[in-house]
Structure 1
């Protein structure tokens, strides 16, 4: 089930579940996967930026990916393979593709400074993992400190036929989506899928600008599924009403530093994780933060019963 440029819908970013002692919680991986299958996800991404991939050993990464791929056999699974060097990237890519992954996601290292360096890096990365392996280009300057202009993205896409999706997480980035889609209409760039991240903070208007869906890890991916469906059906106001109800919690969960801790707590409260813990090092939520999250859940529950936990 190879990833293609026709990908669309919602590809939730799966967290890596851990037990309280730091071991991987395989039962929670199964629960999460079943939930994604049941809520209308069209794909899954594992070992993404917030999947705590750097805290896993190679064998653990392969085991986590393989378990989710096997459990979600009817959905394409993308695996994050970003690494400081191409040897580690190649090894993980080979193992997860052998396990049945649909493609891989590659983020830029923060050492890249110029447009030429960025374009060259992705050309070399595609060659390193194998030019037959579909890959997702992750554009997330807030975290990686690498600024990709629309022209750089076009160059990467045109240079590498195996680049089939852009994970768009620039901020602000609505004009970037419009520019890329305009180039496609003009024939100046081949079509690729554009799925957006940033916890869905701008998904309402990103869909209207031409995005194909979401590739992010908000603790209510079932809401993202509904939002994408409403937007594609032309039910604009209904889509915005749903988005507006979730926006305070989306915003809170997106905070740098504690965002993943909040997300895991919410997934734990939804019964999808057996423990909200992260693998060390991490900072646990304070009592004040938990109280604020509970307050936000209560307010959201007035508009969306899925928050009545």
Structure 2
């Protein structure tokens, strides 16, 4: 089972809008050196929605090759087309990813039965560990806990990223799913509390900026040390709010540029962080001890 701090990695880009492959390699090395427990490549934070199909597969391949087995790599391969999700998942398996992260289909608003059949079809088509991803704030469609329980009976569906931020709902998932099914937080502000309830890790945006602290907080929370986990988490709490003043990954990519991790480049229809929020994010970096 993959556990701990799993960074939802940004995808660095050059000023002309191409994938910055040297910076991507540097980010991977930075995370491994900082104690990050796993990398999620080309998820929401990695701008999966604006990468071309080939770029998407190329980034997964590069991350797998650069990591070279040192930590797990989870590839974002979700789509609102079941056929496309199957193809991306197969490409990720062929590239050597350890697992795939599959978002609830967006825009077309499937029913609970449609979601079940979608994920079942992918799991049956590609033999790789698969993690469901429920983020109704983005997809509109919201996968119920009962649907998750139906899906966790499929052998290679091994977990879920719950980005609802609803701890009552997360606790219900943890209590009702089998012990070998991992519930991960997808919400940095509530991640420590979910892990203290039995969650297995945090698929984190904040880890892009504060990898050591997020990893330490995850280790402590999974070990059940509530006081120590909260103490560490409190040091980076300003980031948990500051990195979401505009839709992710706008603030985190801007913040990463301020501390030299990447260029300040993001693809349309996303735009650079609005001027009115520059001071807010800079203050979050300073208050968290990231930038002097």
- TM-score (norm. length: structure 1): 0.87
Among residues 111, 116, 119, which one is paired with 2:116 in the alignment? Answer: 119
After superposition, what is the alpha-carbon deviation per residue over 1:227-248, rounded to whole angstroms, capped at 9, x for unaligned? 0122234432222122223222
Q: Which position in structure 1 is the counterpart of 2:251?
A: 262
Deviates more, 1:36-45 or 1:280-289: 280-289
Seen in structure 2, the aligned counterparts of structure 1 residues 299 and 217 have a Cα distance that, compared at 3 Å, is closer
For the residue of structure 1 that corresponds to 2:204, the secondary structure is: coil
Seen in structure 2, the aligned counterparts of structure 1 residues 232 and 79 have a Cα distance that, compared at 3 Å, is closer
Seen in structure 2, the aligned counterparts of structure 1 residues 245 and 293 have a Cα distance that, compared at 3 Å, is same
Distance 2:139 2:246 in 1: 13
Q: Which position in structure 1 is the counterpart of 2:40?
A: 45
Distance 2:202 2:3 in 1: 8
For the residue of structure 1 that corresponds to 2:249, the secondary structure is: helix
Q: CA deviation at 1:94?
A: 2.2
2:174 is equivalent to residue 181 of structure 1: yes
After superposition, what is the alpha-carbon deviation per residue over 1:125-155, rounded to whole angstroms, capped at 9, x for unaligned? 323x42x221110011111112222211111
Greater gyration radius? 1
For the residue of structure 2 that corresponds to 1:12, the secondary structure is: strand
Among residues 220, 225, 234, which one is paired with 2:215 in the alignment? Answer: 225
Gaps of 5+ in 2: none
For the residue of structure 1 that corresponds to 2:16, the secondary structure is: coil
CA contact (8 A) 2:159 2:181 kept: yes
Distance 1:163 1:152 in 2: 12
Among residues 76, 82, 87, which one is paired with 1:86 in the alignment? Answer: 82
Distance 2:157 2:80 in 1: 20
Q: Name the Cα RMSD after superposition.
A: 1.8
Gaps of 5+ in 1: 1-5, 302-306
Q: Which position in structure 2 is the counterpart of 1:165?
A: 159
Aligned 1:65-214 pairs, distance under 5 A:
65-73=60-68, 74-110=70-106, 111-127=108-124, 129-130=125-126, 132-158=127-153, 160-172=154-166, 174-184=167-177, 189=178, 191-198=180-187, 200-214=188-202
Seen in structure 2, the aligned counterparts of structure 1 residues 260 and 126 have a Cα distance that, compared at 3 Å, is same
CA contact (8 A) 1:62 1:95 kept: yes
- TM-score (norm. length: structure 2): 0.91
Distance 1:50 1:77 in 2: 15
Q: CA deviation at 1:261?
A: 1.7
Distance 2:264 2:212 in 1: 19
Q: Which position in structure 2 is the counterpart of 1:304?
A: none
Distance 2:132 2:274 in 1: 35
For these two proteins, the number of residue pairs brought into alignment is 288
Distance 1:277 1:59 in 2: 20
Q: Which position in structure 2 is the counterpart of 1:27?
A: 22
